[in-house]
Amino acid sequence: MWIVNSMIVIAIALFMQLHNAYAQCSPQAAQNCVPYTCVQTENIFSCLCPNMQLASSAAECDIINPPTTQPPVVIPNQCSTAVCPAGSTCVPTNQNPALYVCVCPNNIIANPNCPGVLPNNQCLFNNPCRNGGTCVINQLTQQPLCVCPPNTYGQNCANPCRPYCDNSWCYNGGRCTNAYGQAYCMCPYNYRGRRCELRYSAYNYVYLYHYPHYHIGK
């Protein structure tokens, strides 16, 4: 009988040891380890430090494995300057905030635009070019730029160019010819000047501005 009772006592003792070995940390012990993890070994509650060593408190963990004093490296979020197509949202990647993707409303990554959505191109929505000018997007400013045909000029190609030669270019019967991209006038007798605007006067042997106004000049 004594032997049986002794075995029962030993079994109860073993059970209590096993129970204590797997017991959870009490709230007070867990709070003592914040921000680290509380563990229980051999009836003792300990704090598991980042370097996998055991300590009696979080303060002791900081002594064993002091936290770094270097400020964290901040990777710039490229979405602040990213240009995503119309209808999409810029989302930085989890692996590297310096990288981003443009996500469409249906969670499809824009490639390069969202399905069924026109690109954010002002040449399509509001073409500023006139008189047959070709609208292109400046890749630096993302603003429209007009490439004008040969007969127009100006920011929006709104100004028609004067032909090199027309009926009003040469004065006083001069005949216009085109050469090297410019207009030249072949003047009649007693006239000279770029547009035949000077008339020779036999009275004082000088040339007078005959058109559009009179002016004496040598």
Segment 117-162, tens digit of pLDDT: 545 556 766 788 888 888 776 656 667 778 887 777 778 888 777 6
Q: Are 198 and 210 in contact (CB under 8 A)?
A: yes
pLDDT at residue 2 is higher than 50: no
* For residue 215, pLDDT beyond 50: no
Q: Return the pLDDT at 4.
A: 42
pLDDT of 213 strictly over 50:
no
Which ranges of the chain does DSSP label H, i.e. alpha helix? 2-21, 27-33, 58-64, 122-125
Q: pLDDT for 6-65, tens place per residue?
A: 444 444 444 444 444 445 678 888 888 888 888 776 667 888 787 777 788 888 888 877
Cα–Cα distances (Å) from 9 to 1, 4, 6, in that order, read 13, 9, 5
Residue type for 4, please?
Answer: V
Q: 78 by DSSP, 3-state: which?
A: helix
Neighbours of 146 (CB within 10 A): 21
**Average pLDDT, stretch 161-188?**
78
Q: Looking at the predicted structure, is the pLDDT value of residue 66 above 80?
A: no
pLDDT at residue 75, as a whole number:
56
Between 41 and 194, the higher pLDDT residue: 194
Higher pLDDT, 70 or 159: 159
- pTM of the entire structure? 0.27
pLDDT of residue 71: 59
CB atoms within 10 A of CB 38: 20
CA distances, 24 to each of 16, 21, 57, 106, 151 (Å): 14, 9, 16, 46, 87
Which CATH class, in words, describes the domain spanning 122-160?
mainly beta
Beta-bridge partners for 92: 100
Question: What is the pLDDT, as a whole number, of residue 10?
Answer: 45
